[in-house]
Amino acid sequence: MKLFISVIFMAGLGVRMTKGDPLLIVENLKAYYPSKKGLIRAVDDVSFIIREGECVGLLGESGSGKSSMALSIMGLFERVARFAAGASSDPELRKAFDKGLQGEVDKPGLSGKVSFRGKELTKMPQEELIKIRGKEISLIPQGLGHALNPQHSIGHQTAEPIEVHEEEVRLLELKKKVLEYLGVVQLADAGLRFVLDPGCFSGGESQRILIAMALIAGPYLVIADEPTSALDVTMQREILNVLRMIKEEFDVSLLLISHDAGVIAELADRVAVMYAGKILESGAAVQMFHNPQHPYTMGLMSSFPTIAMMQIKAGKKPRLRGIPGDPPDLANIPSGCPFHPRCRYVIDLCKEKIPEDREVEPDHHIRCHRWGEISEE
Ligand code: SF4
């Protein structure tokens, strides 16, 4: 079933742009929040673009700032960070959020620019953002356990994005649309089970329901935050198939966030590799998986057997090696290049100076002092 196949078309009040046009532009984004340990630099001077119709994979280990990036785009960062930092119950942290940390050069909060379809989201008041969130940009959140409300039927919850954004919807039409989208994500017996509450559904089924909720209002951009991480291997495969079908048959762009390079390799057209709040390398997926050039990307790609298999098929000789050590604490990021304590190519300069973001070829960015000098051994 091809739902949308035209390159340019009218959708409700919005006009889709041409495939390949910039849809979301993130420029020098910083998202910091205070904690008892100090300032957490969750997103630290990040820039990237998502174009119409493409899937960008955001890859990185846990705690690299990927979910904070998703929340920043959705305009939810401050609200969630306040809660996560315990700022609602701790007067000191609340003060730090409101005024900035004493003695810190940087302040908690969001800075930089996020533009979506020509509108600057970072300057938009929450009343305006609410009209975009769930309708033009939607989120498939991480963590199935608390993503669905246990007290409402899944039919009711799937309908919610439409009820929130459209003033007059007839009940019959709404039910038809809910069943249509639960059908799109292949929820078994949706016509009989849409009146049940989330407790009656498995993890894989709950993920399908969340995908239907993210799609039902016809968004331009869907952010899928670790959509397979809570699932077993068989279910992961099924959810990836659903996401692939959405990518191919809906005219929607995807930001796919995962710590698993195998998941990103399945769907992404371009990949951005995140570490300690920064994007260390970004470029076309083929380039990133077959010929990674940043030492961290090289390490990541040598950590996943699925990527090694991909490289073997492409006639390369991969080596499963992994990366020594652990990702840094975001409240205590190493000086210079944040990857230097784990990097096999480190030199003195790396410990002193943060590498600049360089466009080393069209659409291929790297932050490494030694780019061009090193290659994978
Ligand atoms: S800048 Fe230095 S430490 Fe950082 S990745 Fe490059 S070589 Fe390694």
The residue extents of the domains of the chain are 10-136+219-295
Residue 344 amino acid letter: R
Position 104 scores a pLDDT of 52
User: 316 burial class (0-12, 13-18, 19+ CB within 10 angstroms)?
Assistant: middle
**What predicted TM-score, i.e. pTM, was given to this entire model?**
0.88
Helices (H), 302-347: 305-313
2: pLDDT strictly greater than 50: no
Using the mean position of ligand 1's atoms as its centre, give its distance from the Cα of residue 64 in Å: 17
Position 311 scores a pLDDT of 66
Position 43 scores a pLDDT of 95
Using the mean position of ligand 1's atoms as its centre, give its distance from the Cα of residue 297 in Å: 11
100: pLDDT strictly greater than 60: no
Question: Over the stretch 170-224, which tens digit does the pLDDT of each residue have?
Answer: 888 889 999 999 999 999 999 899 999 999 999 899 999 999 999 999 999 999 9
The CATH number that domain 10-136+219-295 falls under is: 3.40.50.300
> Contact at 8 Å (CB) between 184 and 212?
yes
Calculate mean pLDDT across residues 129-133. 92
Which atom of ligand 1 approaches the CA of 294 most closely? 5
Ligand 1 lining (C-beta closer than 6 Å): 295, 337, 339-340, 343, 345-346, 350, 355, 368-370
Q: How far is CA 12 from the centre of its chain?
A: 26
Question: Over the stretch 20-38, which tens digit does the pLDDT of each residue have?
Answer: 789 999 999 999 888 878 8
Band of pLDDT at residue 4, cut at 50, 70 and 90? very low
Percent of the chain having pLDDT more than 70? 85
